[in-house]
């Protein structure tokens, strides 16, 4: 006979639901280790079924080394904002971030093979968390920024936007720069860093728009050049007005602090991902038809 104590212990060790634990213990004649193995197998199967579901919510995690010589940003996705606030989910993401800093994997695939403190692989833990929470969980991306000159500074806007900067700025200036990047989304640091394909695309759009004005080619060219200059000012860090004092640009701010910027990273949850649009009425209707 399966006791309530056995079910409780299995739940504590696996995080699985009460009925799943009771059923697993019944199928394994009360053998706890075999029940754990069975739940893991079922969890892997469950994770496989959920793998195709869109995971566009989640959190960004930031971690800077003690000597501020490097920093890491990690994004892990789930399906709903509710799960993004779950303690188990957040603990998993925090452990992953520390693992990246400690072992420096080259990519997400390499990270998935690393061993966590529990003794199981990252991928196994991910699948077990999917089985426990009931949502698809995806380790989307991570990146590490190594200092050039100066130190790494960072800023988190809640748990959805994370920024790292490599700068020679001292004191609060480094954090202020990271905060500015979180708010203003610069494409790159300076005009020289702007990707050529982005600039070409913008110039083509402006040319097509200006051509419709019916003005001479010379005037059209001047109009396009003006719009390109405006685009560069608005989308490069150094050209943008500083969010805490829009009367000066970030370039002027750095000059006042006798500081420089070597690099930046900005992660925002779900950027570029297709998000699921819930249709509550359709969901209720579908459930009614199934009953």
Domain extent listing, the chain: 4-50, 54-146
Q: Give the DSSP H/E element, type plus range, for residue 64.
A: strand 57-64
DSSP collapsed to 3 states, 76-90: EEECCHHHHCCHHHH
Residue 1 has pLDDT above 90, yes or no: no
pLDDT in tens, 237-267: 999 999 999 999 999 999 999 999 999 999 9
Residue 43 has pLDDT above 80, yes or no: no
Residue 288 has pLDDT above 70, yes or no: no
Asked if the domains 4-50 and 54-146 are classified in one and the same CATH topology, the answer is no
Q: Is-contact 277 165, C-beta < 8 A?
A: no
This model's pTM is above 0.85: no
Computed over every residue of the chain, the mean pLDDT equals 86
Q: Are strands 161-167 and 241-242 parallel, antiparallel or unpaired?
A: unpaired
Residue 50 banded pLDDT, cuts 50, 70, 90: very low
Distance, CA of 104 to CA of 68 (rounded, Å): 16
Residue 283 banded pLDDT, cuts 50, 70, 90: very low
Distance, CA of 184 to CA of 239 (rounded, Å): 11
The predicted structure's pLDDT at residue 216: 84
The larger pLDDT score, comparing residue 282 to residue 5, is at 5
pLDDT in tens, 152-169: 999 999 999 999 999 999
Q: How far is CA 56 from the centre of its chain?
A: 10
CATH, range 4-50: 1.10.8.10
Q: Are strands 261-268 and 161-167 parallel, antiparallel or unpaired?
A: antiparallel
pLDDT in tens, 223-245: 999 999 999 999 999 999 999 99
Average pLDDT over residues 8-36: 79
pLDDT in tens, 185-211: 999 999 999 999 999 989 888 888 888
CA distances from 252 to 176, 249, 260 (A): 14, 5, 11
CATH, range 54-146: 3.30.479.20
The predicted structure's pLDDT at residue 61: 97
């Amino acid at each position: 006979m399966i006791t309530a104590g056995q079910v409780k212990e299995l739940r504590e060790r696996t995080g699985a639901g009460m009925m799943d634990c009771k059923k697993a213990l019944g199928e394994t004649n009360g053998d706890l280790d075999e029940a754990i193995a069975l739940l893991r197998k079922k969890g892997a199967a469950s994770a496989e079924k959920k793998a195709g579901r869109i995971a566009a919510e989640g959190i960004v995690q930031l971690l800077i080394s003690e000597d501020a010589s490097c920093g890491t940003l990690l994004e892990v996705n789930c399906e709903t904002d509710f799960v993004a606030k779950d303690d188990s989910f957040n603990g998993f993401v925090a452990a992953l971030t520390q693992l990246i800093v400690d072992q420096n994997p080259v990519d997400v695939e390499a990270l998935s093979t690393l061993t966590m403190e529990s003794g199981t692989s990252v991928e196994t833990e991910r699948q077990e968390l999917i089985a426990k929470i009931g949502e698809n969980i995806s380790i989307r991306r991570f990146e590490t920024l190594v200092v050039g000159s100066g130190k790494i500074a960072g800023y988190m806007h809640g748990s959805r936007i994370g920024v790292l900067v490599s700068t020679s700025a001292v004191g609060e200036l480094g954090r202020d720069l990271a905060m500015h990047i979180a708010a203003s989304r610069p494409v790159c640091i300076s005009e020289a860093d702007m990707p050529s394909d982005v600039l070409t695309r913008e110039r083509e759009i402006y040319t097509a728009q200006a051509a419709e004005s019916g003005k001479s080619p010379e005037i059209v060219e001047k109009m396009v050049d003006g719009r390109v200059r405006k685009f560069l000012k608005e989308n490069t860090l150094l050209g943008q007005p500083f969010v805490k004092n829009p009367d000066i640009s970030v370039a002027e701010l750095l000059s006042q602090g006798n500081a420089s910027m070597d690099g930046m990273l900005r992660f925002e949850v779900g950027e570029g991902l297709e998000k699921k649009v819930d249709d509550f009425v359709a969901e209720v209707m579908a459930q009614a038809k199934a009953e």
